[in-house]
């Protein structure tokens, strides 16, 4: 699998990562099989969050592989904090407590990347900065990022941080493209022209922040997969045509569509099916033409101005 550099860091990761939200539902044996197959396919970044399975996903992950120094050096562990039951919390106290909990469950001394999980309307950037500095200086966290934040939210945070933001995790799939639509419909008087995220994609490219695409197979907000869904006949037909032409699965083509974007976006796939994950990983070897990319974009129901 091809590697990409994450933001302005010295971390190089496979261009496709594995989201571990559903790992809490697996047995230790099945979880180990998923992780081993992922690494064999070149997937080495594993995305967690303290809320996934109420913390159980992190625990199952570490226990399944028998976490030790040798294994730990071969993977990049990313986790997130900030979502609590009924509210968001970017307080210094919660960030520090959350990281200690993740470290304990993951059976490791350090987190490679810590993301703030969705924006907290009540966050104080000075407090976040203090927490990040404590975590960095103690060696508990090496790099930092955010998820679902717009440019001004990132600017406010960066003004106070000593560390770089290297990741912004944003929803993106062929059928969920607002960050792309707005750039294609500049100065137009219709819905796709609405800038819903403040220009997050361009901001991240300008500031060397890697965009990670979550829910790359979902429509709506985790309302279900669009692949094989009868409600999306045109895009599925085109995905199948390209899959047959290139000798891969339709899921691999859907990921290749994201990888084709010059922003070096890293998809976060959440499958716990080892075979499907290996099939998806083949997207790294597929490069869609410009014409094919736009054909899929249009097949998803989008229109060009």
Active site residue 52: yes
Residue tagged 């490791």 (tokens) = 108
User: Which segments of the chain does DSSP mark as H helices, in order?
Assistant: 28-40, 56-65, 69-72, 92-106, 125-138, 151-158, 178-184, 200-206, 233-246, 250-259, 274-281, 290-299
In terms of Cα–Cα distance, which of 195, 247, 270, 229 is closest to 38? 270
In terms of Cα–Cα distance, which of 127, 105, 109 is closest to 51? 105
User: Which residue(s) pair with 211 in the sheet?
Assistant: 168
Give the DSSP H/E element, type plus range, for residue 168. Answer: strand 165-171
Catalytic residue among 33, 52, 110, 143: 52
Q: What is the DSSP string of 121-142?
A: TT--HHHHHHHHHHHHHHTSEE
Q: Are 241 and 232 in contact (CB under 8 A)?
A: no
Residue 197 burial (CB count, 10 A): 19
Q: What 3-state DSSP class applies to 234?
A: helix
Q: Which residues carry out catalysis?
A: 52
């Amino acid at each position: 699998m091809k590697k990409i550099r994450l933001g302005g860091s010295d971390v190089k990761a496979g261009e496709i990562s594995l989201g571990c939200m559903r790992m809490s539902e697996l047995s230790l044996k099945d979880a180990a099989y998923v992780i081993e197959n992922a690494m064999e396919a070149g997937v080495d970044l594993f995305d967690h969050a303290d809320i996934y399975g109420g913390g159980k996903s992190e625990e199952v992950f570490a226990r399944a592989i028998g976490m030790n120094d040798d294994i730990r050096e071969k993977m990049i562990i990313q986790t997130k904090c900030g979502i609590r039951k009924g509210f968001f919390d970017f307080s210094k106290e919660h960030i520090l407590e959350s990281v200690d909990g993740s470290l304990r469950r993951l059976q490791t001394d350090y987190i490679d990347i810590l993301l703030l999980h969705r924006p907290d309307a009540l966050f104080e950037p000075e407090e976040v900065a203090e927490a990040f500095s404590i975590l960095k200086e103690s060696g508990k966290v090496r790099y930092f990022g955010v998820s679902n934040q717009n440019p001004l939210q990132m600017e406010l945070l960066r003004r106070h941080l000593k560390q770089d933001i290297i990741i912004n995790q944003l929803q993106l799939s062929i059928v969920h493209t607002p960050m792309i639509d707005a750039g294609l419909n500049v100065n137009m008087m219709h819905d796709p022209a609405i800038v819903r995220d403040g220009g997050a994609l361009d901001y991240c490219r300008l500031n060397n922040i890697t965009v990670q695409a979550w829910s790359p197979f979902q429509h709506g907000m985790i309302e279900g997969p669009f692949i094989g869904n009868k409600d999306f006949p045109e895009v599925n037909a085109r995905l199948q045509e390209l899959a047959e032409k290139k000798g891969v699965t339709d899921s691999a083509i859907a990921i290749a569509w994201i990888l084709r974007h010059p922003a070096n976006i890293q998809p976060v796939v959440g499958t716990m099916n080892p075979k499907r994950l290996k099939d998806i990983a083949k997207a790294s070897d597929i490069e869609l033409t410009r014409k094919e990319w736009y054909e899929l974009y249009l097949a998803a129901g989008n229109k060009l101005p």
